[in-house]
Amino acid sequence: MKKRSLPIVLFCILALVTGCANIRDDATRTKAEGAGTGAAAGALIGALIGQLAGGDTSSTLLGAAIGAAVGGAGGYAYGSHVAAEKEKYASQEDWINASIAEAEQRNGELRAYSEKLRQELAQLRKELKGLKRRYKQGKVEKDALLAKKGELDKLFRENSQRLAAARDELKAQRSVLDDVSKNGGSDLAPGLEAQIRAIKAEITKLEQQNEELASMSESMAV
């Protein structure tokens, strides 16, 4: 990216984010904040794409504009969801407590799933070791390895979906925490922060398990 285009892009991103702070209506502000954040991220990515496409100022700004539009649309949709959920509750405190309760439930589900997958992985390690040994000895055909690879790939996809859902939950709870810091309810923040830390820990587990599944699948490719 040329030096002249970089300050312009950064200025646009800053304007998108800070412009949301001047909106007084709570629901509208939440939507706009979601749009601003998405647009800012999209603009930055788009600018980089524009740089690769042409490298000049016009290409960079065009990429930033397209990225901002796409990112803003996605961010607004997400922000609308957060605002709609908040409006269901009679008070800020009720909304925060409901968010904490939901996070606790999701964390419980994630822990149970992660533990189940941990046990499955332990069993799979044994199975794969024996299967590869028998294949080298000529006791099983290549199709047996490919079939097991198919099972691993399916499990990887399922785990990836669970991981994506966990990341969405983390985003949602972080948005609640951001709202708490802006609009009050700080006495409930520690409980929410604890749930956010727990979600992050479970996400780390799922990521590690996905890496192992991918490695197992690769070892079955013959």
The two structure tokens encoding residue 157: 């996809």
How many Cβ atoms from other residues are within 10 Å of residue 90's Cβ?
7
The two structure tokens encoding residue 175: 């948005």
What are 112-139's pLDDT values in tens digits? Answer: 999 999 999 999 999 999 999 999 999 9
Q: What is the pTM for the complete model shown?
A: 0.60
pLDDT of residue 181: 86
What are 73-102's pLDDT values in tens digits? Answer: 333 333 444 434 777 888 888 888 888 888
The two structure tokens encoding residue 104: 């606790």
pLDDT of residue 120: 94
- The domain locations on the chain are 5-87, 92-219
Residue closest to 27 by CA, chosen among 71, 92, 72, 74: 92
Q: Write a three-state SS string for the chain.
A: CCCCHHHHHHHHHHHHHHHHHHCCCHHHHHHHHHHHHHHHHHHHHHHHHHHHHCCCHHHHHHHHHHHHHHHHHHHHHHHHHHHHHHHCCCCHHHHHHHHHHHHHHHHHHHHHHHHHHHHHHHHHHHHHHHHHHHHHCCCCCHHHHHHHHHHHHHHHHHHHHHHHHHHHHHHHHHHHHHHHHHHCCHHHHHHHHHHHHHHHHHHHHHHHHHHHHHHHHHHCCC
Non-local (6+) Cβ contacts of 6 within 8 A are 60
What are 163-221's pLDDT values in tens digits? Answer: 998 888 888 888 888 888 888 778 888 998 999 999 999 999 999 999 999 999 998 87
What are 8-58's pLDDT values in tens digits? Answer: 444 454 444 444 444 344 444 444 444 444 444 444 444 444 444 444 444
Mean confidence (pLDDT) of the chain: 72
